[in-house]
Structures are given as C-alpha cells and as structure tokens.
Structure 1
Amino acid sequence: MDIKDIKSLIKVITDTDITEFEMENEEQRIVIKRGSEPEVVHVSAPAYAPAQPAAPVPAAAPAAAAAPADVAPAAVNDQYDTIPSPIVGTFYAAPSPDSDPYVKVGDVVEAGQTLCIVEAMKLMNEIEAEFKCKIIEISKANAQPVEFGDALFVVEKV
C-alpha cells in the first residue's frame, strides 16, 4: 500500500465516527486509532551487542591501575549481552509511576516480553526482548534520559 492509499484511508476514517481500524495482509499491517488514549508504539530492540569491557585505565592513575579487582568484572561481562536503546528518549521501568516495574534483576523474560518504555516526543515505545534471557543488570534509572545505543539492560541468553 502506498502513501496515497494510506492518506485516503485516514481521510475516510476521520470523516466517520470509527475510533479504531485494523487491516493486515501477508506483507503489512496497518492499525489506525483515534481518541485521547496515549499512543503506545511497540519497538523491537536492535540486534544485541556483547557488553563492552571497561575502557583501559591510563597509567597516570596508579590507584585504579594497581587494583586487580577492576579487571575481573570486565572478564565476567564478556559472557553477557546488552540491550541497547533503539531511540533517544526517556527510560521508564514501569507503565506508570505507581505500577511495579516490567522486569527486575534476576527475572527470566521470554521473547516478545516488554522490558521497559522509552518515551520519545510523547510516544511511549515499548522495548521488547528479542530472545529468552535473564536480566543481570538494569543500566538506567527510572525517568533517566537515554541516547540511541545506550545500554538499557545487561542480559544473559537462556
């Protein structure tokens, strides 16, 4: 369906009292909703990248360079993946301020399960898991701004 067809479909719907329209075929799916409900957009996170080890500490910082404990977590992180933010926005761990978070550290989530919301320009984008995994770390605090590619979660594939 081209943009001209979509525009004419929207025109027909806005000229009626229809509040929701959905059409699906083997190639595409179109959903049009009208009203004052907040819009929720489902976004699958892009391909997961292995967690990057900590940047090497310059020799000028002797206290950090001398501590072997700083090296151990970097080696452990090689077994984990990160779930990056697919967009710039604000991270929300729960659907509303008084709700429980979607996931907690230690939870095992299924593919397609909502992990968080990233709000961008008043659109609530649900970030979903692309595969079954265990949440090792939640990298962002609630209501914290995120950039494209920022790690939202550190996960272990199950």
Structure 2
Amino acid sequence: MDIKDLKVLIKMVTETDITEFEMDNSDEKVVIRRGPKTEYVAVAAPAPQAYAAPQQQAPSAVAAPAAAPAAEAPAETGETVNSPIVGTFYRAPAPDAAPYAEVGQVVEKGQVLCIVEAMKLMNEIEAEYRCKIVKICKENAQPVEFGDALFIVEKL
C-alpha cells in the first residue's frame, strides 16, 4: 500500500463516525484508530438517605433498635473494557449462537469479546491483551454509550 492510499483511508476515517478501521491482507496489515485512549474508573456514590417524617409515639412505647447497615457488595476489581462507540451490545454473533465470552473464561489478545452494532454495522470488540473475564457489565441487546463499561477483566 502506498502513502496515497493510506492518506485516503485516514481521510475516510476522520470524515465519518468510524473510530477504528482495520485492513489485513497477505502482505500487510493496516489499523487506524482515532480518539483518545481513555481509561475509565467507576466510583460508587454514597447511598441516598431517605427522609423520614417524625413519628408520634405513645409514652410507653419502646424505640425499635436501629437497623443494621446493609452489607455492601464487594467492588469488582480489574481493568474495564469500554465501548468505543454508541450502539447495541451483543454477546453472541447470532441469537441462537454461543456467547463470545463468559465469566471466568480466559481470552487471548485479539479474541472477540462482543459486538456493538452501530447503524447496521457490526463492530467486533476484541481483547487488547490476554485476560480473564471477571464480570459482564451489560445485558444482551442492551444499548450502550461511548465509554460504557462492557466487561471487567483481570490482566494475565
């Protein structure tokens, strides 16, 4: 591929909503990505406090013991795989097919984790490194926004 063809490809990517373009043939491989590579960290907000109106109690009534605070779910640790585009999240290539990845599965670099459909284009989201799937953050056929966490993974 010469520089003129490469410039045409780059212009095509920058003038559209495409965030990643990959072309592979027997002699060469071209990957064009645009946009910053951003790592997102989720932080849990404190639970909102409900307002309770003062209650009228009879003089002989005994106050009830305070309820024990609910045990917080352990936070998932690891890296996140985020959606590079706005679209619809699909775990499998077809409704009747097996999912690309399951919780606990070890995936290799370049292995497809899911599909995000945008404007009738199926964009395969691949693992950027060898990792283990800790959590799948979205349900099948759920809409996703740019930067939404799709998976929580543990680098291996």
For these two proteins, the number of residue pairs brought into alignment is 123
Give a deviation string over 1:31-51, Cα, whole Å, max 9, x none.
Answer: xxxxxxxxxxx9xxx55444x
Does the C-alpha gap of structure 1 residues 156 and 48 become closer, same or farther in structure 2, counting only changes over 3 Å? farther
Unaligned regions of 5+ residues in structure 2, if any? 10-23, 53-66
For 1:100 and 1:133, locate their aligned partners in 2 and report how far apart those are by CA, in whole Å: 20
Q: Which has the larger radius of gyration?
A: 2
Is it true that 1:120 corresponds to 2:114 in the alignment?
Answer: no
Judge conservation of contact 2:40–2:147 (CA < 8 Å) in 1: no
1:29 — aligned with what? 30
Does the C-alpha gap of structure 1 residues 29 and 81 become closer, same or farther in structure 2, counting only changes over 3 Å? closer
Taking only the aligned residue pairs, the percentage that are identical comes to: 57
For 1:80 and 1:55, locate their aligned partners in 2 and report how far apart those are by CA, in whole Å: 19
1:56 — aligned with what? 46
For 1:141 and 1:5, locate their aligned partners in 2 and report how far apart those are by CA, in whole Å: 39
Shift of 1:132: 1.2
Judge conservation of contact 1:87–1:147 (CA < 8 Å) in 2: yes
Q: Normalized against structure 2, the TM-score is what?
A: 0.64
More helix by share: 1
Partner secondary structure for residue 74 of structure 2: helix
Is it true that 1:69 corresponds to 2:71 in the alignment?
Answer: yes
Aligned residue type for 1:98: D
Shift of 1:120: 0.4
Give a deviation string over 1:110-152, Cα, whole Å, max 9, x none.
Answer: 1111000000011110000111111111111111110001110
For 1:5 and 1:53, locate their aligned partners in 2 and report how far apart those are by CA, in whole Å: 41
Aligned residue type for 2:30: R
Is it true that 1:134 corresponds to 2:136 in the alignment?
Answer: no
1:96 — aligned with what? 94
1:148 — aligned with what? 146
Judge conservation of contact 1:82–1:151 (CA < 8 Å) in 2: yes
Q: Normalized against structure 1, the TM-score is what?
A: 0.64
Give a deviation string over 1:80-103, Cα, whole Å, max 9, x none.
Answer: 121110000000100111110000
Unaligned regions of 5+ residues in structure 1, if any? 8-20, 31-41
Partner secondary structure for residue 102 of structure 1: coil
RMSD of Structure 2 on Structure 1 (CA)? 3.3
